[in-house]
């Protein structure tokens, strides 16, 4: 008697791609509820109204375009949209101008995301673009050293035509791009040496700008890239030892560098001067409780650079510690997604680029969150996707492209057994 074929159940993974609509609906509802206090307070200004209403529509168009292009897993993009919505809500509660500029920056970030995805869609194309990207990054840093003015002790902003840009944020994209493209295939000593020179040149330029927080992010990303390619802990140890020696020499010959960290763990002794920001974050953030005081009801917004340097405290105070904690977990989720995806990619370039980009998110978020709460020295780095700032937003979305663009090898469908 012929055996009857047993029908196989369809894998659950095939249906997971449909869940993004439900998640996006939930994100949109959350955002509209968050924006409601701003939309219902009398007659909102036109820039604020446009920013808050156009952003959810822009999210849907962006994600629908990705689906139409064939992308199935939209988890990283959904997280980025949710975080960006938090940023827009905070900016809108402070100023209509801030909200409009932030909405434009988010839209620009999505365009940068698309441009980076196009450039890295093919690993061979990335190899061809590598020298041009490295030269562009070097040119940006050189221009920064020549044209930038010192503001708040740092020399990392260039003002052109009324707009301010932070070249070091854009160079983060080049750093990941060049690192992944260089070490994906070219294992010859000259190629690795050239990348080492490029990496140390970027870090050195940031030290000259006195942007020590960003320099630390670059250096940590370099260690991640180097370990992913070599897997040699001894080499990483030697690099760390050399970095420690260099830091000691800098502190010895430039004592003012050490003075910037003297307030660390002593903020309550400097509550009215150098510890003002951090003490206010701790005081006001704790007053928000689990569910917050409500958008626009906090007091931390009145502290200098609250929306750029202290957004985590703003989330704790106005949205509540629950939402702030979920926002922090998003950066961990980016890292987990990158590590899982890296096991199935078609090229080492995508593995190196995605994990190093996720490492940048984690390190930068850690420096910001732990810095404002005095668990680490305050460095002044922004919180990805949430801090107000155009260049920072462009960089955050650009790095997301490395995490999301992980082509997987095509698997052939298993032949079905004929009945009988």
- Each residue's pLDDT expressed in tens, for the chain with a length of 420 residues: 444 444 454 444 444 445 889 999 999 999 999 999 888 877 788 889 999 999 999 999 999 999 998 888 899 999 999 999 999 999 999 999 999 999 999 999 999 999 999 999 888 888 888 889 989 998 988 888 888 776 666 777 787 766 778 888 999 999 999 888 877 655 555 566 777 788 888 888 888 887 888 888 888 888 888 777 666 666 666 566 656 656 665 565 555 556 557 788 888 998 988 889 999 999 999 999 999 999 989 999 999 989 999 999 999 999 999 999 999 999 999 999 999 988 887 788 888 899 999 999 999 999 999 999 999 888 889 999 999 999 999 999 999 999 998 655 444 444 444 443
Buried b (16+ CB within 10 A) or exposed e, 181-211: bbbbeeeeeeebebbeebbbebbebbbebbb
- CB-based contacts of 372: which residues, under 8 Å, 6+ apart? 277, 278, 281, 309, 310, 312, 313, 378
Give the distance, in angstroms, between the CA of residue 155 and the centroid of all CA atoms in the same chain: 21
Phi, psi of 160 (to 5 degrees): -135, 120
The two tokens of residue 26 are: 């939930």
The Cα-based distances of 134 to 70, 147, 199 in angstroms read 30, 20, 10
The Cα-based distances of 346 to 82, 113, 169, 405 in angstroms read 29, 20, 28, 11
Rounded Cα gap, residues 388 and 396, in angstroms: 12
Residue bearing tokens 């502190």: 251
Q: Which helix (H) or strand (E) is 149 found in, with range?
A: strand 149-151
pLDDT of residue 252: 56
Residues 112, 130, 364: CA angle, nearest 5 degrees: 55
CB 396 within 8 A of CB 302: no
pLDDT of residue 245: 58
- CB-based contacts of 303: which residues, under 8 Å, 6+ apart? 276, 277, 280, 281, 310
Q: Please enumerate, as own/partner, the contacts of 36-41 that have beta carbons within 8 Å and a separation of 24 or more.
A: 37/93, 37/294, 37/295, 37/296, 38/89, 38/92, 38/93, 38/295, 38/296
Number of neighbours of residue 60 by Cβ within 10 angstroms: 14
Q: Which helix (H) or strand (E) is 372 found in, with range?
A: helix 348-372
CB 101 within 8 A of CB 50: no
pLDDT of residue 184: 64
Residues 207, 182, 225: CA angle, nearest 5 degrees: 55
pLDDT of residue 210: 79
CB 341 within 8 A of CB 353: no
Burial class (CB in 10 A: 0-12, 13-18, 19+), 238: exposed
Rounded Cα gap, residues 143 and 145, in angstroms: 5
Number of neighbours of residue 158 by Cβ within 10 angstroms: 18
Torsion of CA 390, 396, 398, 403, to 10 degrees: -170
Rounded Cα gap, residues 317 and 294, in angstroms: 8
Pure H helices in 254-347: 255-259, 276-287, 306-309, 311-314, 321-342
pTM exceeding 0.85: yes
Rounded Cα gap, residues 91 and 101, in angstroms: 9
Residues 264, 267, 268: CA angle, nearest 5 degrees: 150
């Amino acid at each position: 008697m012929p055996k009857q074929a047993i029908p196989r159940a369809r894998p659950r993974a095939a249906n997971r791609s449909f869940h993004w609509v439900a998640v996006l609906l939930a994100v949109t509802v959350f955002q509209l509820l968050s924006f409601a206090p701003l939309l219902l307070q009398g007659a909102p200004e036109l820039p604020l109204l446009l920013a808050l209403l156009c952003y959810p529509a822009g999210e849907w168009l962006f994600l629908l375009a990705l689906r139409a292009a064939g992308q199935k897993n939209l988890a990283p993009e959904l997280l980025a949209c949710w975080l960006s919505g938090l940023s827009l809500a905070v900016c809108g509660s402070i100023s209509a101008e801030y909200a409009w500029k932030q909405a434009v920056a988010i839209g620009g970030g999505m365009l940068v995301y698309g441009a980076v995805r196009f450039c890295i869609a093919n690993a061979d194309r990335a190899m061809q673009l590598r020298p041009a990207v490295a030269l562009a990054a070097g040119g940006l840093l050189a221009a920064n050293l020549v044209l930038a003015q010192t503001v708040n002790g740092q020399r990392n902003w260039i003002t052109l035509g009324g707009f301010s840009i932070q070249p070091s944020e854009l160079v983060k994209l080049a750093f990941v791009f060049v690192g992944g493209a260089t070490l994906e295939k070219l294992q010859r000593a000259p190629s690795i040496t050239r990348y080492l020179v490029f990496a140390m040149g970027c870090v050195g330029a940031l030290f000259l700008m006195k942007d020590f927080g960003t320099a630390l992010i670059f250096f940590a990303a370099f260690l991640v890239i180097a370990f992913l390619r070599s897997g040699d802990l001894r080499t990483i140890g030697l690099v760390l030892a050399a970095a420690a020696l260099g830091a000691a020499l800098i502190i010895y010959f430039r004592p003012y560098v050490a003075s910037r960290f003297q307030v660390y763990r002593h903020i309550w002794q400097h509550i009215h001067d150098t510890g003002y920001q951090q003490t206010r974050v701790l005081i006001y953030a704790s007053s928000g409780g689990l569910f917050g005081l409500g958008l626009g009801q906090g007091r931390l917004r009145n502290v200098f650079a609250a929306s750029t340097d202290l957004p985590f405290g703003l989330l704790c105070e106005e949205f509540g510690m629950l939402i702030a904690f979920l926002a922090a977990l998003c950066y961990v989720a980016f890292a987990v997604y990158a590590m899982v995806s890296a096991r199935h990619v078609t090229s080492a370039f995508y593995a190196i680029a995605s994990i190093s980009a996720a490492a940048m998110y984690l390190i930068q978020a850690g420096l910001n969150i732990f810095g404002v709460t005095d668990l680490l020295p305050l460095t002044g780095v922004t919180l990805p996707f949430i801090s107000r700032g155009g260049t920072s937003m462009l960089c955050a979305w650009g790095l997301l492209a490395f995490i999301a663009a992980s082509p997987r090898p095509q698997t052939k469908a298993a032949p079905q057994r004929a009945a009988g």
